[in-house]
Amino acid sequence: MSKRVGVVCGSFHRDEVERMLSWVREEATLCNISLGDIVWVPGSMEVPLALDRLLVTHDAAICLGIIEKGETQHGLAMGQAVIKTILDLQLKHDKAIGLGIIGPGAEPHHIEPRLEPHARAALRAVVNG
């Protein structure tokens, strides 16, 4: 039986995340995973609430996004809070969440080479989870 996996996508870097989503779709086919709902949110800060809602009706979920390095520590603090909350959601729902968020602290030259590997790894993380 194929798992049904929800996807949360941060739209702040929409072009890059759309490319990540295409690799997730390809990887899902290879892993016999059924993608369920795909939810777009403004940015990484909105990811946990969307994941919480998806995990009620899906077997697992993944999230895709990018948290760039900024001029202040805001992105780092926000990224740590988001990742901590994602870990808490896995425990709350007893379901796997694949983390496909690049960063926090990603600089422009870090992003491109990480798009495909992070997308595919996020999906593979929930295959046996």
Query: How confident is the model over 60-109, as pLDDT tens digits?
Result: 999 999 998 878 888 888 889 999 999 999 999 999 999 999 988 888 99
Count of domains forming the chain: 1
pLDDT band at 50 (very low <50, low <70, confident <90, very high): very high
CATH number at residue 122: 3.40.50.960
Per-residue confidence at 37, pLDDT binned at 50, 70, 90?
A: very high
User: Concatenated DSSP letters for 92-114?
Assistant: HHT--EEEEEEEEEE-HHHHHHH
**Is residue 24 one of the residues assigned to a domain?**
no
71 part of a folded domain: yes
Predicted pLDDT at 71: 80
- The per-residue pLDDT for 70 is 77
- pLDDT value, residue 74: 82
- Please identify which of the residues 74, 93, 109, 110 carries the catalytic annotation: 74
For residues 8 and 54, is the Cβ–Cβ distance under 8 A?
yes
Q: Which residues contact 87 (CB under 8 A, 6 or more apart)?
A: none
**106 lies in a domain?**
yes
- 74 as an active site residue: the answer is yes
**Angle, vertex CA 18, rays to CA 99 and CA 88, nearest 5:** 20
- Which structural domain, as residue segments, surrounds residue 68? 53-75+86-129
Residue 2, pLDDT > 80, answer no
Q: What's this model's pTM, rounded to 2 decimal places? A: 0.94
